[in-house]
Structures are given as C-alpha cells and as structure tokens.
Amino acid sequence: MGETFGLHLMLDGYDCDRSKLADADFIRNFLNEFPEDIGMTKLMSPYVSRYEDADRKRWGLSGFVLIAESHVSIHTFPDEETISVDVFSCRNFDIEAAESKIVEGFGIRRIERNILDRGVEYPKDFNLAREIISIEREQCGLRVAEA
C-alpha cells in the first residue's frame, strides 16, 4: 500500500460457523482480544448489540471496539451464515494475519476482501496540518485558535 493515513480492511465472510455468529459472548471476547493480536491498542471494552428487523425475519449481532488507531466492527447474520468485518487503522498492520484470525475465529469458508488506502491526502506532519487548517479557516472567515 502507498503512503496513506491508514488501511481499511473490509472482509465479508460466507458459509460461516452459525453458532459463533449468534453468540454475543464469543463476539465480545473476539473483539476484546483481536486488537492486541494485530498490534493495536484497545481503548474501551467491546460493545455488542442484537438487531432484529421490524418483521423479525432477519436478525444479527453487531459489535464494535474503539482502538487508539481507529476501530474494529463486526456485523453478523447467523441465519444467512454471513459476517462483515471492518478493521480501520491509522497505522499499518499485517492484513494477512488479521484476515487469518478472523477467518479462523468465525469458521469462514468463503471470503470477499477489500482493502482501501485511507487518507491519501492527509498531511503526515502535524505542524503542516495545523498550517493548512489555519489557512482554510482564514479563507472561510473563521477565527483561528492560538495553540
């Protein structure tokens, strides 16, 4: 990947282990351990919630953990045996290791993987970023706070 703000791994899994997709405790534990497994810093305990559509025909679990580098989210649909996982980090990470951990953890048999370079135009230098923001605020007629 190029010089970017960070990587965003989007993984959709099919033919997954239904029992794991339906287990809120399993998902919470996965999200609790996963950041450290990929070298990230967890900032909070994971949050997992159940979702049901209005007709109660489709349901799933969604989980999220905030990391210092950004976030990890999981959305499961047990009846369809599918999962969607996003791992976004402002720091590079081993995509293959992260994918392997997810695939193994949820018993995924088929995957669809997309990777984005995020923030290609983000300044890498904090002082340069401050200067750019200051100029843009002046152009918009906004008051610039002193640092």
| CA torsion through residues 83, 88, 89, 95, sign | positive
Are the beta carbons of 74 and 84 closer than 8 angstroms? yes
Question: Which residue in 62, 71, 84, 90 is the catalytic one?
Answer: 90
Is 16 annotated as catalytic? no
Catalytic residue among 8, 70, 73, 89: 70
Q: What are phi and psi of 146, to 5 degrees?
A: -80, 140
Q: Look up residue 119 and give its DSSP letter.
A: -
Among 8, 73, 75, 89, the active-site one is 75
Q: Round to whole Å and give the CA distance between 12 and 76.
A: 10
Annotated active-site residue 100? The verdict is no
Residues 6+ apart with CB under 8 A from 124: 3
Distance in angstroms between the alpha carbons of the first and the last residue of the chain: 34
Active site residues: 70, 75, 90
